[in-house]
Structure 1
Amino acid sequence: MAAHRVLLLGGNGKVARLLTPMLLQRSWEVASIIRSPDQVAELQQIGAQTNHKGKLDVLVRSIEDVKSEAQAKTLIDEVKPDYVVWSAGAAGKGAPERTEAIDRDAACHFIRASVATPSITKFILISFNSCRYEKMSWVTEEHWQEYLKTTRNPLNRYYEAKIVADKVLWEEGKKRKDFAAVSLRPGILTMEPVGGVALGKYPRVAGTTSRPSLAFRPGYPRYAALLGSHPTFHNFRRFGRVRMRLLLIAQDRVAALEQQLDQIDEQEDRQLFLGCMRRDKNVERQQVLSDLKAALAEYDDMLEKCRTVVSLPASRGRDVQNLRKWVDGTACLDRQESSYLEHENDLINPVKSLEKSTAYTESFVEECIFWLETLMHKSLLSCHSCYGSAFGPDDYFDEDTKFIGAYSGNYAVRRGISHDPIVLHPSEGI
């Protein structure tokens, strides 16, 4: 894979801090833009702690002071990136003018300047899940009004700034066929472990999204992060059948050598050799004993390991079901390589099981949640693309635009429920 140079705007943000080492590990070059010289040493330390062949440049610049497309173009020309990631923002904090200057005006300037730069082929905007002019057709009016009341209205100035940037990204992205404009619209960001993502039209807007889920790339990086986020996801094959098969082979090898030793002893014509090991000159017997020692050690080792594995508790059906739904929903793993989850009777969890009362309560609550989710929307985990609107009526987007609603977060109730709406244009993704 060719190395890319990424302009990371807002490099000191939590999402950017998670993303930076991942890009460096891919041997990419990262130009991280921050506003304070006090942040330089800490960011450089993040780069130094990463085992990589990439290059990290930390530049101190004030994005808030970018007042025109020309000024944005000056920074782009200085860095010379081919990808741009917008992770900057006032997040509604400080004076209203600051939110408008950064989240709206500066973002729009960098979007336009990036589209006007032929060498830049991708712009990723970390946006806001409320960036819509109108209710989506698949969301109920009751839920939409509740969401406006509890989430968007309190952040209305932030919304007004982000919606403008999203629309500019959509409009500018259509100007070039070789340009991928990506609006990543998570819910309220948390530092919870990465969770599952399911694709499709999701009937709710509110939710939380872990910052790590925005950083780990689809595939094994994201799947491994999910497994590491909670012990209930630590489900692996016991391989009971093949383990017994290999144990039987090892046992038979010891038995065959034992039989061979008995035959040698029976045919021995010198009683002295049988009565004194120090004077035993039978080379064949010595070789069999040596082979027997190695075979028996291997057998004992396999037997002990088998005892450990066999005694591990079986995976709970609900935990396996959660993983299977995540894999089916994200489609980020090869089907053949994720098929191990289909061997439910052969799956184990090496982590100490939960107390019975806790496990029962958790299972009951999860069952209620899944029942309600199924009742509300049968296609929760369907993996498909659909044409829809991010800003208004369903026909607002043209046919080159794809909307993907993503349900993100661990399915278990202890991690909560969230989702990540994502807008891609053209159909190329991150």
Structure 2
Amino acid sequence: MSSQLTVAVVGGHGQIARLLHPLLLEAGHTPVALVRRDDQAERLQAEGVTTRRLDLEADDVETFARAFEGCDAVVFAAGGGADGNAARKRAVDLEGSTKSADAARQAGVRRFVQVSAIDMDKPLPADTDEVWRAYVEAKRDADAHLRGTGLDWTIIRPGRLTDDGATGLVALGDDVARGDVARADVAAVLLAVLEDDRSVRHQWNLVGGDTPVADAVEHALG
């Protein structure tokens, strides 16, 4: 992969995305934030971020593919949020992801990094809340779809997200136990895996830890 990347960020005005954009810019890359509203575009453009329009729920695969034109990689960082709406979990977390992956293939963008969530493949108890079940199933099925696309994917599965400042210290790996992680540290890991093609076709849990991000990626690669 080229040293300078143009990266389409789906969910480009989300909390993780807004932490990722400055890291990409500082590293010499070009973030392309995909956003739905004028005010979101204006805010990001004022921060030096290129924007394109995309409505995750309403737009089709062909529109997604046009939004990805000229990009070297896609980061799916969108989420339906804690709104209590089970249907929106499917529309955003699952269908937004699957449309993004299918559109990346259509646009010829092979590199795809997805933000998922920890422990999404574990069975759910019978009495699981309906909205939480919808969220877990959406993330699980989105990851499964991405793994089957043939794209050069990496899936990062963070634990409970916090707004704490970046520590630069994480635990990353196949079997890392559930825990908290700062969104700023998630963004740092996304940059690290984008820049390291050895992370292709790896799926890792991510929580706060005591290992610097670069070293954690090296360790996870084995």
Same fold (TM over 0.5): yes
Alignment match, 1:211: 183
Q: Is 1:162 matched with 2:139? A: yes
Task: Supply the distance in 2 between the matched residues of 1:70 and 1:57 (Cα, whole angstroms).
Answer: 20
Alignment match, 1:294: none
Q: Please give the secondary structure, in 2, of the residue aligned with 1:12.
A: coil
Q: Is 1:171 matched with 2:148? A: yes
Post-superposition shift, 1:133? 4.6
Q: Is 1:197 matched with 2:170? A: yes
Cα pair distance change 1:202/1:104, threshold 3 Å: closer
Task: Supply the distance in 2 between the matched residues of 1:199 and 1:96 (Cα, whole angstroms).
Answer: 29
Alignment match, 1:110: 100
Q: Is the 8 A contact 1:194 1:409 kept in 2?
A: no
Task: Supply the distance in 1 between the matched residues of 2:142 and 2:173 (Cα, whole angstroms).
Answer: 24
Task: Supply the distance in 2 between the matched residues of 1:99 and 1:406 (Cα, whole angstroms).
Answer: 21
Alignment-mate amino acid for residue 132 of structure 2:
L
Post-superposition shift, 1:3? 1.9
Cα pair distance change 1:30/1:189, threshold 3 Å: same
Alignment match, 1:58: 51
Post-superposition shift, 1:404? 4.1
Q: Please give the secondary structure, in 2, of the residue aligned with 1:71.
A: helix
Q: Please give the secondary structure, in 2, of the residue aligned with 1:91.
A: coil
Q: Please give the secondary structure, in 2, of the residue aligned with 1:185.
A: strand
Task: Supply the distance in 2 between the matched residues of 1:165 and 1:123 (Cα, whole angstroms).
Answer: 13
Alignment match, 2:76: 86
Task: Supply the distance in 2 between the matched residues of 1:191 and 1:17 (Cα, whole angstroms).
Answer: 12
Q: By percentage of residues, which structure has more strand?
A: 2
Q: Please give the secondary structure, in 1, of the residue aligned with 2:81.
A: coil
Post-superposition shift, 1:30? 1.9
Post-superposition shift, 1:153? 6.9
Cα pair distance change 1:207/1:153, threshold 3 Å: farther
Deviation string, structure 1 residues 332-367 (Cα, Å, up to 9, x no partner): xxxxxxxxxxxxxxxxxxxxxxxxxxxxxxxxxxxx
Task: Supply the distance in 2 between the matched residues of 1:200 and 1:60 (Cα, whole angstroms).
Answer: 34
Post-superposition shift, 1:406? 4.4
Cα pair distance change 1:406/1:112, threshold 3 Å: same
Cα pair distance change 1:45/1:129, threshold 3 Å: same
Q: Is the 8 A contact 1:131 1:166 kept in 2?
A: no
Alignment match, 1:32: 33
Task: Supply the distance in 2 between the matched residues of 1:129 and 1:7 (Cα, whole angstroms).
Answer: 23
Alignment match, 1:76: 68
Alignment-mate amino acid for residue 134 of structure 2:
R
Q: Is the 8 A contact 2:163 2:182 kept in 1?
A: yes
Alignment match, 1:408: 208
Task: Supply the distance in 1 between the matched residues of 2:54 and 2:203 (Cα, whole angstroms).
Answer: 34
Q: Is the 8 A contact 1:64 1:106 kept in 2?
A: yes
Post-superposition shift, 1:129? 1.1
Unaligned runs of 5+ in 2: 193-199
Cα pair distance change 1:64/1:94, threshold 3 Å: farther
Identity of aligned residues (%): 25
Q: Is 1:44 matched with 2:45? A: yes
* Structure 1 segment 181-260 matched on structure 2, within 5 A: 181-195=153-167, 196-200=169-173, 202=175, 204=177, 206-216=178-188
**Could you say what the CA RMSD is over the residues aligned between the two structures, in angstroms?**
3.4
Q: Is 1:19 matched with 2:20? A: yes
Post-superposition shift, 1:159? 1.2
Q: Is the 8 A contact 1:34 1:59 kept in 2?
A: yes
Alignment match, 2:115: 126
Task: Supply the distance in 2 between the matched residues of 1:73 and 1:203 (Cα, whole angstroms).
Answer: 34
Alignment-mate amino acid for residue 171 of structure 1:
G
Q: Please give the secondary structure, in 1, of the residue aligned with 2:158.
A: coil
* Structure 1 segment 308-327 matched on structure 2, within 5 A: none
Task: Supply the distance in 1 between the matched residues of 2:202 and 2:35 (Cα, whole angstroms).
Answer: 32
Cα pair distance change 1:198/1:168, threshold 3 Å: same
Cα pair distance change 1:71/1:45, threshold 3 Å: closer
Cα pair distance change 1:407/1:7, threshold 3 Å: closer
Q: Is the 8 A contact 1:131 1:159 kept in 2?
A: yes
How many correspondences in the alignment?
A: 206
Task: Supply the distance in 2 between the matched residues of 1:6 and 1:215 (Cα, whole angstroms).
Answer: 13
Deviation string, structure 1 residues 11-41 (Cα, Å, up to 9, x no partner): 1111111110111122222211112212223
Q: Please give the secondary structure, in 2, of the residue aligned with 1:40.
A: helix
Q: Please give the secondary structure, in 2, of the residue aligned with 1:3.
A: coil
Q: Is the 8 A contact 2:157 2:203 kept in 1?
A: no
Unaligned runs of 5+ in 1: 48-55, 135-143, 223-399, 412-419
Alignment-mate amino acid for residue 81 of structure 2:
A
